[in-house]
Amino acid sequence: MEKETTISAEELSSTLGVDISISTKTGVCPVIITTDTKENGIEWAKKAKDEINELLLEHGAVLLRGFDIKGASDFNTMFKVFAGDPLEYKNRTSPRDKVYENVYTSTSHPKDQEIHMHTENSYSKTFNRLIAFFCLVPPDVRGETPIVDERKLFKYLTKETLDAFRERGVKYVRNTIPGVGLDWKTIYQTEDKTKVNKYLEENDIAYEWIGDDHLRIQWVLPAIQRHPITNEEVWFNHMYFGHKSLYDPMVLEFFEEKDLPFVTYFGDGSEITDEVIQEFKDFYKEHTIDFSWQKDDFLLLDNMMFAHGRRPFDGKRTILTIMSQPHQFDLDPK
Ligand SMILES: [Fe+2]
């Protein structure tokens, strides 16, 4: 079903000199902008930035395809035109390499593993409203970046589930253990434990040094936020990503629950049942768009409206990422 939009695709196409299609069909990126004339990405962005931001606010995801964008530096400049100054990737959960200023490889997580749906930094008191991805090298096999409209998720969840999360929020427990995932020095980008402790205290994160390099932290944040521009309520947290049931059974056998790298509960510490998680699994199965990369694709997401993940892949696959527009969690979003 095509949705009524406030901006007409035909009108915009002729104003901006490119093909614009707007769709709400499952399996199609909501806004796809294509050009077959290899239009210079940066110059075009300057001309189109207001319209792109308007489309993004309405639809949550915009794909630019076929533009002339020369690697990380152009990606950085073009993103800045649309989205303002990029942010440094702090308080990390994902192994990433910086490739240019604040442009990073999207993740160097093992390629045979799925990365579950999440909104970037939604476990962190300071988060980015915008995120973009750029395809430098497409994967040979699979390696899609699945995306999904979390505003639809908000409408899909049962009242009981929403009420429970609204009431209790989400508790996050994270362990950094030597040899498992990122070490604390990478996460906090310092070698100084005093600085880590200070950062944690300032952010109301409880911490415990179990051993020299084993740090366990826990904190609670709301599960729902209001979008800072549209003011609509959005599902914005990392609950699903960290739920125990999504772990490989071998990992669960290896670790005691208290030592899992990243695990989530209701804010009061109680278990989130598998039945609740099944609602999310059903939604993601039905509504996820398995976005397949083509070289030089530029995908812009409103991080509070669209979640993303990563399918396992083969081949080189280099997807770059960049973030902007920092916001603070509203800790009492009633
Ligand atoms: Fe991510």
> pLDDT tens, 7-27?
788 888 988 989 999 987 878
pLDDT-derived band of residue 105, with 50, 70 and 90 as boundaries? confident
Say how many Å lie between the CA of residue 303 and the centre of ligand 1.
10
pLDDT tens readout for residues 201-239? 999 999 999 989 999 999 999 999 999 999 999 999 999
Mean pLDDT of 172-181: 88
Say how many Å lie between the CA of residue 16 and the centre of ligand 1.
30
Least confident of 3-12, 25-34, 80-89, 98-107: 3-12
For the domain spanning 9-107+127-139+291-328, the CATH number is 3.60.130.10
Mean pLDDT of 289-301: 95
Q: Is 294 exposed, middle or buried (0-12, 13-18, 19+ CB in 10 A)?
A: exposed
pLDDT tens readout for residues 106-161? 776 789 999 999 999 999 999 999 999 999 999 999 999 999 999 999 999 999 99
Say how many Å lie between the CA of residue 333 and the centre of ligand 1.
24
pLDDT-derived band of residue 95, with 50, 70 and 90 as boundaries? low
Q: Are 100 and 72 in contact (CB under 8 A)?
A: yes
pLDDT given at position 26: 79
Phi, psi of 117 (to 5 degrees): -60, 140
pLDDT-derived band of residue 94, with 50, 70 and 90 as boundaries? low
Mean pLDDT of 300-322: 95
Mean pLDDT of 160-188: 92
Mean pLDDT of 282-310: 96
pLDDT given at position 266: 98
> Is the pLDDT at 1 greater than 60, yes or no?
no
pLDDT-derived band of residue 325, with 50, 70 and 90 as boundaries? very high
**How far is the C-alpha of 208 from the C-alpha of 123, rounded, in Å?**
19
Say how many Å lie between the CA of residue 15 and the centre of ligand 1.
33
> Is the pLDDT at 300 greater than 80, yes or no?
yes
**How far is the C-alpha of 119 from the C-alpha of 308, rounded, in Å?**
6
Say how many Å lie between the CA of residue 10 and the centre of ligand 1.
33
For the chain, domain boundaries? 9-107+127-139+291-328, 153-281
pLDDT given at position 302: 98
Three state DSSP letters for 9-48: HHHHHHHHCCEEEECCCCCCCCEEEECCCCCEHHHHHHHH
pLDDT given at position 238: 97
For residues 90 and 299, the model is more confident at 299
Say how many Å lie between the CA of residue 187 and the centre of ligand 1.
15
Mean pLDDT of 17-46: 90
Most confident of 107-111, 252-256, 269-273: 269-273
> Is the pLDDT at 326 greater than 90, yes or no?
yes
pLDDT given at position 11: 87
Q: Are 123 and 261 in contact (CB under 8 A)?
A: no
pLDDT-derived band of residue 2, with 50, 70 and 90 as boundaries? very low
Say how many Å lie between the CA of residue 264 and the centre of ligand 1.
17
What residues form DSSP beta bridges with 175? 216
Say how many Å lie between the CA of residue 20 and the centre of ligand 1.
26
> Is the pLDDT at 334 greater than 80, yes or no?
no
CATH class of residue range 153-281: alpha beta
Instruction: Please provide the average confidence, as pLDDT, over all residues in the chain.
Output: 92
**How far is the C-alpha of 314 from the C-alpha of 151, rounded, in Å?**
32
pLDDT given at position 25: 81
Say how many Å lie between the CA of residue 287 and the centre of ligand 1.
18
**Identical topology for domains 9-107+127-139+291-328 and 153-281:** yes
